[in-house]
Amino acid sequence: MAKRGKVLRDPHLGPGLLMVEGKQYPFQMEELWRSEVPAKPGLIVNVDFDAQGNVIGITAVPQSELDQERAEPVGDRLGARQRFFKRWVPANNILARLVAIGILIVAWFVLTAVSVHVPLLGKLDLTFWQVLGYLSSGSALQFPELPGNPDSGVFGFLAILVLAGPFLPYVWKDRRSSLGGVLPLAFMVFVAFRFAVGVNSLFAIQGPGPFEPLETNLHDAIFHEFRVGLGTYLSASVAIYFAVLSVKRLLESSRLREEPRGWSQKVAA
């Protein structure tokens, strides 16, 4: 029966001494040593015992075997961590996306996206969803006359599709699905451009009339009559977050596709 032990005393200076499972065993180098490696204090050894518990042979444990034994527990711990993260990270990603979409919905439907100073009518605070309704009406000149929550029409339908964009990779495994996370940012930029053009048409009325003193260009309209609200800042932050995640995911998928090809080319060369 073999047990693991350690040399405590150099047998070249007298009787050697082993420690095995907390017990000490004296030994003679000439009688029991079975390795070419010289015995020295601290050396890890395999100790063979007979049925009566007497030492019948001592063999030094190779350093490679010791290194492998030390690496196995670390590998087990790393493997356990990797398995944990493989289970935790996807679930955490979905949860983070759901929370971000919830924030985006609140920012679009509840918080003020823009404040527009309408001549003779005062300031008009609009949520992003109301902006979609005014765009759907076909003319920004009409928005002082429309109800507070106009029908968003096709813009509202597009907004709902855009909200599903960040979850596209979970239902479509193609690498191009990563671009779904860019949709909220792209949609907001498009809506902002269309609305800015509409505001410009309102403040750039030409000819005589009560609005003549308010003639201005798009730049003046935006910076003097047009104010961005908290909803825009918050939704833009979430949209940028989704866009960054999408671009990162797309770049990682591209790298993973190129690595096997590069490796095969190296082997072929």
CATH code of residue 6: 2.40.50.140
Residues 38, 95 share a domain: no
Residue 71 maps to a domain: no
Other Cβ atoms less than 10 A from the Cβ of 137: the count is: 18
Please compute the mean of the pLDDT values over residues 218-230 and round it to a whole number.
63
| 47, 86: one domain | no
Residues 161 and 264 placed together within one structural domain of the fold = yes
Query: In this predicted model, which residue has the larger pLDDT, 65 or 20?
Result: 20
Structure confidence at residue 90 (pLDDT): 47
- Domain holding 21, by residue range, is 2-61
Distances, alpha carbon 221 to alpha carbons 46, 136, 199, in Å? 87, 21, 7
Q: Could you tell me if residue 72 is inside a domain?
A: no
Start-end of H helices in 110-229: 128-136, 153-164, 183-203, 218-224
Instruction: Please state which of the ranges 62-71, 172-181, 239-248 shows the lowest mean pLDDT.
Output: 62-71
Pair 117, 186 in one domain:
yes
Is the pLDDT confidence value at 180 over 70? yes
Task: Please indicate, yes or no, whether residues 83 and 57 belong to a single structural domain of this protein.
Answer: no
Nearest 5°: the CA angle 21, 22, 26 is: 95
Residues 103, 184 within the same domain: yes
Stretch 196-212: mean pLDDT, rounded? 57
119 shares its domain with 147? yes
Least confidently predicted of 25-34, 91-100, 189-198, 231-240: 91-100
Q: Per-residue pLDDT for 115 more than 50?
A: yes
> 117 and 204, same structural domain?
yes
Task: Count up the domains in the chain and report the number.
Answer: 2
Residue 127 shares a structural domain with residue 98: yes
Residue 69, in any domain of the structure: no
Q: Are residues 142 and 52 in the same domain?
A: no
How far does CA 78 lie from the centroid of its chain? 20
pLDDT of 81: 58
Examine residue 230 and state whether it is found in any structural domain, yes or no.
Answer: yes
Question: Is position 183 within any domain?
Answer: yes
Same domain, 188 and 257: yes
108 shares its domain with 241: yes
Structural domain includes residue 185 = yes
| 70 belongs to a structural domain | no
Mean pLDDT, residues 37-63 taken together: 84
